[in-house]
A and B are shown apart, each in its own frame.
Chain A
Amino acid sequence: MTDLFELSLKEMQNGLRWGEFSSRELVGAMLERITRLNPPLHAFLHIAAESALQQADEADSAGPDDSQPLRGIPIAVKDVLTVAGMPATAGSKILEGFLPPYTATSVRRLQEAGAIVIGKTNTDEFAMGSSTENSAYGVTHNPWDLTRVPGGSSGGSAAAVAARLVPSALGTDTGGSVRQPASFCGVTGLKPTYGRVSRYGLIAFGSSLDCVGAFGRTAEDVAEVLTIMAGRDPLDSTSSDVETPRLELERADLRGTRIGVPKEYFIKGMQVEVEEKTRAAVAQFEALGAEVHEISLPHTEYALPVYYILAPAEASANLARFDGIRYGPRAQAETLMDVFFKTRGQKFGAEVTRRIMLGTYALSAGYYDAFYGQAQKVRTLITRDFEAAFHEVDLIACPTTPTTAFCIGAHENDPLAMYLEDVFTLPASLAGVPGVSFPVGFDGKGLPVGMQLLAPRFCEEALLRAAYAYQQATDWHKRKPGM
């Protein structure tokens, strides 16, 4: 029999339903693997072994139930989402010791469907970064090569799914933080449409961009998770009441689907193998019946400056709440003002401080129009690029990242080089459209190459159906790191 940890979410659902194994056996197998592999990977910041086993026993004694499709299945949650009773650090020293009294809506819906949260995963501090190197609690290592980063900011969740520590994990994507680590770790990662999943209980970074997404090993598995956590939530006024589709992936027929390949996403300096594998995957889609067209998204090159003005601007306001008064540690100081200055000065890490500075500058008197105002206008142009493209095509196919996973420390002391890692994921975030990244091959060093598909807003079904069809025809997503 296959080891239990090898099973996909769908296979776990079936195995539990038919009594092939118990939730206790399943959770026990995952915990054993986590105990062995988390020390070299550092994917988890918090492991809730005891409560997970207790919930597994409860699921076993209750038996299978169609109203709870995830009953007894262990998942992991990125440590920027709150789970009542588990610490939430956001990868920051400024939230050390914080025990949130409430659970994020996305997580709560999965729990109500029977899922068991087995632990919280590592993240760049406040989700700001592309490598998890900015976590105040240490870097996560890529399961394919421990000297490399897993990507970020949801690097812990991506590494945990790639290393078969959990079948699925939640991440968040503000500028690529689900898709980029999914690409680096060789797993499937979905960033839904902005507003599709409630942000309640997500520690805010850039509120006009933040999306809760999911990692799995297949498009089918992330579709299952999305369907359960999506939908309007009275606790998030930007959550959408657009009906959540039941994603019927079985009818994965790509005949007549028009796929656009934007010429701006094949740039000088990108890794040759990334372009080759992406083009090969596009050819595969063509073989599956899709029509392929070259398209143009002319404002692509401006996405980076727009994002790195708007996201830090929003972050500088959102992170004002961390002041040493209501949660986290407080620096020793005589006056209230000094409590603010010292706590924030001492407890925020370098990248978070840099972005607060950048955002504060962009919003400050004298610079607001030139930076924040202009960036908001160019965001409109980027959004229009996508609207125009989606008149011609149903989906857009492009590389997720310019390179495969880079070495730990490669971008130390060069923040701009790190920002450039996000160049292909930022435009979709600014336009609020959904995207999915999935493996389409490996480079000469044996590192996974990912590509992303993008769809019009609220068209996750078309997106995931195409990724599903690709995975039915290929087996890159079945490759696993030698751990």
Chain B
Amino acid sequence: MPLSLREVEHIARLARLELTDEQKALYREQLEAILDHFARLQELDTKEVSPVAGLSAKQAPLRPDEARPGLNREALLANAPQQAQGQFKVPPVFE
């Protein structure tokens, strides 16, 4: 299954990954080989088969919607590369 460099760039953009030209070339080649190997899945007739939706037999359980303490704010913020005024700090989104 041929994969173009443009498709590789499109996927990388969707996944928010900045790749070098060498990486793009390498991944194009490797993903093409992997997808070729996967093409055999198309040989199976699955018209009558429903997809696996999840392995838990039951529906997801619900809990009462009650306020309760969450994780410690300082400890969480301490992991952030930048923080200010008790919040995560990021570069400007709009000029």
Within 8 A of A (CB), among B1-54: 7-8, 10-12, 14-19, 23, 27, 30-31, 33-35, 37-38, 40-42, 44, 46, 49-54
Complex Cα spacing A173 to B16, Å: 27
Residues of A within 8 A of B44 (CB): 299, 302, 374, 377-378, 381
Contacts A373-B51, A416-B37; is A357 near B56 (CB within 8 Å)? no
Contacts A208-B54, A316-B15, A360-B15; is A325 near B91 (CB within 8 Å)? no
Size of interface on B: residues with Cβ below 8 Å to A: 50
Q: Are A357 and B90 in contact (CB under 8 A)?
A: no
B79 within 8 A of A: yes
A319-337 toward B: CB 8 Å interface, digit per residue (1/0)? 0100111111110011111
A21 within 8 A of B: no
A98 within 8 A of B: yes
Complex Cα spacing A2 to B80, Å: 48
Chain B proximity of A388: nearest CB distance (Å): 14
B60 within 8 A of A: yes
Residues of B within 8 A of A476 (CB): none
Residues of B within 8 A of A370 (CB): 42
Complex Cα spacing A380 to B15, Å: 28
The contact of B18 among A328, A342, A360, by CB within 8 Å, is A342
Within 8 A of B (CB), among A349-372: 353-354, 356-358, 360-361, 364, 370-371
The contact of B27 among A102, A357, A371, by CB within 8 Å, is A357
Q: Are B80 and A327 in contact (CB under 8 A)?
A: yes
Q: Are B50 and A358 in contact (CB under 8 A)?
A: no
Q: Are B16 and A305 in contact (CB under 8 A)?
A: no
Contacts A240-B56, A415-B30; is A381 near B14 (CB within 8 Å)? no
A237 within 8 A of B: yes
Residues of A within 8 A of B67 (CB): none
* Least CB separation from B15: chain A residue: A360
Q: Are B40 and A374 in contact (CB under 8 A)?
A: no
Contacts A305-B40, A378-B46; is A101 near B16 (CB within 8 Å)? no
Q: Are A380 and B41 in contact (CB under 8 A)?
A: no
Complex Cα spacing A220 to B52, Å: 33
Most chain B CB neighbours (cut-off 10 Å) among A98, A101, A324, A327:
A101
Complex Cα spacing A111 to B59, Å: 31
Chain A proximity of B15: nearest CB distance (Å): 4
B84 within 8 A of A: no
Residues of B within 8 A of A102 (CB): 71
Chain A proximity of B83: nearest CB distance (Å): 10
Chain A proximity of B88: nearest CB distance (Å): 6
* Least CB separation from A363: chain B residue: B14
B55-84 toward A: CB 8 Å interface, digit per residue (1/0)? 110001101000000011001101111100
B92 within 8 A of A: yes
Q: Are A357 and B12 in contact (CB under 8 A)?
A: yes
The contact of B14 among A309, A354, A364, A377, by CB within 8 Å, is A364
The contact of A358 among B31, B51, B61, B63, by CB within 8 Å, is B31
Contacts A195-B55, A339-B90; is A364 near B37 (CB within 8 Å)? no
A406 within 8 A of B: no
Q: Are B31 and A208 in contact (CB under 8 A)?
A: no
Complex Cα spacing A291 to B11, Å: 51
Complex Cα spacing A268 to B31, Å: 25
Complex Cα spacing A379 to B50, Å: 10
Chain A proximity of B12: nearest CB distance (Å): 7
Q: Are B72 and A101 in contact (CB under 8 A)?
A: yes
Residues of A within 8 A of B11 (CB): 357, 360-361, 364
Given contacts A237-B61, A340-B16, A380-B50, 8 further A-B contacts (CB under 8 A): A208-B54, A234-B63, A240-B56, A302-B41, A326-B76, A339-B90, A354-B30, A415-B30
* A interface residues with partner B (beta carbon < 8 Å): 97-99, 101-102, 194-195, 208, 234, 237-238, 240, 299, 301-302, 304-306, 308-309, 316, 320, 323-330, 333-342, 344-346, 348, 353-354, 356-358, 360-361, 364, 370-371, 373-381, 383, 415-416, 419, 432, 457
